[in-house]
Amino acid sequence: MAIEIVMPRLGWTMEEGTLVEWIKKDGDTVQPGEIMFVIESDKALNEVESFEAGIFRIPPNSDVLGKTLPVGTVLAYVAQPGEALPFEQAPSAVLAAPAQTSAAASSPVPVQQIPVIQTSAAQSSNGSSLPNISPRARRVAHELGIEWAVLKGSGRTGRIVERDVRAAAVSAPQTAAAQVSPVAKRAAEELGVDIHQLAAQMPGQRITREHVERAALPTAPAATTQPTAAETRTPMPRVRQVIAERMSASAQTTAPVTLTTEVDATELVKVRQGLKAAGKADRRPVPSYNDLLAKLVAEVLRDHPQLNARIEGDEIVTSGSVNVGFAVDVERGLLVPVVRDVAAKSIRQIAAEGAALVDRARSNTLRSDDLSGGTFTITNLGMYDIDAFTPIINLPQCAILGMGRIVPKQVVVDAEAERLAIRHMMFLSLTFDHRLVDGAPAARFLKQVKQFIEQPYLWLVN
């Protein structure tokens, strides 16, 4: 029996997804581990792999491409050679009796035969065998626009692996069209934008849906003696819709309170400068202030577990591990990838994982798992010269910590001696859900965070 391929649920909160690209075409041979199509769920693009071998079939006149569909919607089928599909059976064949009692009875309507490709390996459209490639290598080839079918693999048994694809990307210049994201291609078709012309105007840049939507805007009319302002309307991207829904839900569901304090970060600056110098010598990842604060916060949450909790129905669930989300601003919108079990990891490990997540966020290759499971969030606007702000709680979490810029200031270090000094100062803004935590416990948490920033040796020796 043919296997239904449905819109998958890629996370507990996922209710619908958008099919943005077919990787396999109707009639293609598919093997386990091969990518069939790409869907967009919430804020991430996900490549869906096959668990079965067979012939990939898309129902005729299917209009699911580009559509937002509920989880469980049938998108395609994987059938075995000669196997009938629901959309290929005529009604008389489906409803026919199991046995004919009369020779005059009409013969059943013949079922259309599925094309048979007798091979255990994938084949190209002209029938020639394609080389074996790992799923990860195929994914990278798709991202970089590399034609992997012509590559020679260096893996076991000649399999193409990721290093082969990346080497080909370095040795061969990519065309402008290869830098177009699948979502941008679909948007260009819908909005009537010439993607090749747009690529020519943006050499060396990856074209995203936002670029296409801007290109689709009407050009401003020629200046007249009485110029008038014109409105522009563009469809709200799916990511923006998700952000709007979650921010509204947070504002309407939680009882948010924000506490702000100023911190002397001089010693923390010295710690990072030392790590930066050591990193240059051994070429290891240099921890950012976000990484240092994540490790520090994880240590503080051990003493204040009520801020590492969430509400589920009538229960308060306190997480046994600290999974820290980092707010990342990318072209598609605000994403919050998660580093898991921060308390059990070294600062170097946190830095490496955090850098990889940020890279995937900016290259639009985050997986659903990268965005789920967070128990506490850190957001940093210091690079934009912001001192203090009011972060919005990332549901279902209890709290979020905002970092302002670190700036040298003249401060009083000894009031009795009337002595001043130049210190590196920073504001912290903690927004917490008053349904879960009262003001005093939240203030004690923020006070200990401040203490750990001003005296890093208190947690670095743990």
List, by residue number, the catalytic residues.
434, 438
How buried is residue 309: exposed, middle or buried, by Cβ count under 10 Å (0-12/13-18/19+)?
buried
* Rounded Cα gap, residues 174 and 144, in angstroms: 8
Classify strands 324-326 and 376-380 as parallel, antiparallel or unpaired.
Answer: parallel
Work out the number of other CB atoms within 10 angstroms of the CB of residue 294. Answer: 27
CA geometry: angle at 278 spanning 277 and 280, to 5°?
70
Whole-number Cα distances in Å, 335 to 325, 374, 382, 402: 9, 12, 17, 15
Contact in structure between 309 and 373 (CB atoms under 8 Å): no
Question: Of 241, 212, 222, 247, whose CA–CA distance to 327 is shortest?
Answer: 247
* Rounded Cα gap, residues 326 and 393, in angstroms: 13
* Rounded Cα gap, residues 380 and 327, in angstroms: 7
Contact in structure between 370 and 45 (CB atoms under 8 Å): no
* Rounded Cα gap, residues 206 and 208, in angstroms: 6
* Rounded Cα gap, residues 48 and 23, in angstroms: 9
- Taking the CA atoms of residue 91, residue 94, residue 98 and residue 99 in that order, the dihedral angle to the nearest 10 degrees is 30
Tokens of 292: 């240092």
Q: Of all helices (H) and strands (E), which one includes residue 142? A: helix 135-144
The type of residue at 53 is A
* Rounded Cα gap, residues 379 and 428, in angstroms: 10
The 3-class secondary structure across 255-312, one letter per residue, is: CEEEEEEEEECHHHHHHHHHHHHHHHHHCCCCCCHHHHHHHHHHHHHHHCHHHCEEEE
Q: Of all helices (H) and strands (E), which one includes residue 316? A: strand 315-318
Contact in structure between 323 and 373 (CB atoms under 8 Å): yes
β partners of residue 18: 40, 68
Contact in structure between 405 and 386 (CB atoms under 8 Å): yes
Contact in structure between 449 and 428 (CB atoms under 8 Å): yes
Cα 366 from chain centroid? 3
